[in-house]
Structure formats: C-alpha cells, structure tokens
Amino acid sequence: MQNKLKGRLKGISTTEVKRKIDAGEKPFIIDARGPDEFEAMRLGIGEHLMPLGAIRKRLGELPADMNAEIICYCKISLGGYEAALAIEANGWKNVEVMEGGIMAWPYPREK
C-alpha cells in the first residue's frame, strides 16, 4: 500500500482488466509466475508467461511502443510489482500491476 500511496505502483483492479478484455482492448498482459504455476492455473485471457527471473532477458518480446499498456501479475501481486519495476526501469511508461494477482480474479479461469 505504501508503494501505491507514494506513486511507485500503478495498480489496476481485476474488474478493470476484465472490462478492458471484454471491450476488445488488448493490453499486453504478463504472468510473472513460474511455468509450473502457470500450467496448474491460468486466466486464459491472452496473457504471456514471462517468469520474473526472465523478464530482463525477454524485453525484446514486449511491445515496441514504450507507451503501450502492459499489465503484470503473479499469484498475489508481489512478483507482478517486481516485474513492473523491471519493465519501467527499461523505459516502458504505461505499466500496471493487477491488484491481488491471479488469486483475486473472480471470473472463470482456463484451469
């Protein structure tokens, strides 16, 4: 909460993410969990698996537009926050963290 209050974290609710998807918007969504966690449970909304430890090596897979909307998440948000920081440190400007991570997703999941 302190990071959000100090402007270090730009959060987005699960309901807002769902609204964007349903409206046909196409934010670049990153699941920063590991492959095992991803296989066990995923949202199925077009997210990209980019484990936190691999983000810096895979920056070339992010949108070329540095203003493109990027939404990061993990299980409960900590890894999503760390992924967002790494991405922002490399120049992307519109990076958000899905608050509560996959555990806060109240809609059907792929698995």
Strand order from edge to edge, sheet including 70-73? 11-12, 95-98, 70-73, 28-31, 48-49
Q: Both tokens of residue 105?
A: 């997703």
- Return per-residue pLDDT of the chain as tens, 111 residues: 666 666 667 999 999 999 999 999 999 999 999 999 999 999 999 999 999 999 999 999 999 999 999 999 999 989 999 999 999 999 999 999 999 999 999 999 987
pLDDT at 15: 97
User: Which residue's entry shows tokens 């934010």?
Assistant: 27
- Taking the complete model, does pTM exceed 0.85, yes or no? yes
Question: What is 2-104's CATH topology?
Answer: Oxidized Rhodanese; domain 1 (3.40.250)
Each domain of the chain, given as residue ranges in start order, spans 2-104
The pLDDT value given to residue 14: 97
